[in-house]
Amino acid sequence: MEKVIVSVFISTMLGLVLLFLGLVLGVSGFNGREKSSPFECGFDPIGSSRVPFSLRFFLLAVIFVVFDVEIVLLFPAVMGIGGNWMWFGGYFVLILFLVILFLGVVHEWREGSLEWES
């Protein structure tokens, strides 16, 4: 227990010292017009850099990330189907997960989130 307390204390102190050194020795540059303007290959910026972002594109990207994470969660179960660790409860959980995944896809499809143009 003593070693844990000592290591937590040392890591906390090291973090605080490094934070303090970063604040004291850090570079604080001039934040003028040139620094805050976007850089486009040495040319003056064309148009506004604050273009409106497509909410449909963002929603489709979030859906992709969610289903991608679900596929990553499914991979170990699929690899272990022939192994000894898959008992009846394991198969039940796997089927339940697939049903929930399928219902999510059906919901997104019926809502129209998967269609690019509307």
| Residue whose structure tokens are 């937590």 | 8
In a domain, 39, yes or no: no
In a domain, 9, yes or no: no
14-44 pLDDT per residue, tens: 999 999 998 888 776 666 676 666 666 666 6
The count of structural domains within the chain is: 1
Q: What φ, ψ does residue 43 adopt, rounded to 5°?
A: -95, 160
In a domain, 75, yes or no: yes
Q: 41: left (phi > 0), else alpha (psi -120 to 50), else beta?
A: left
Residue 89 belongs to domain spanning:
55-111
Cα–Cα dist 16/104, whole Å? 45
| Cα-Cα-Cα-Cα dihedral sign, residues 81, 84, 88, 93 | negative
Per-residue model confidence (pLDDT) at position 74: 82
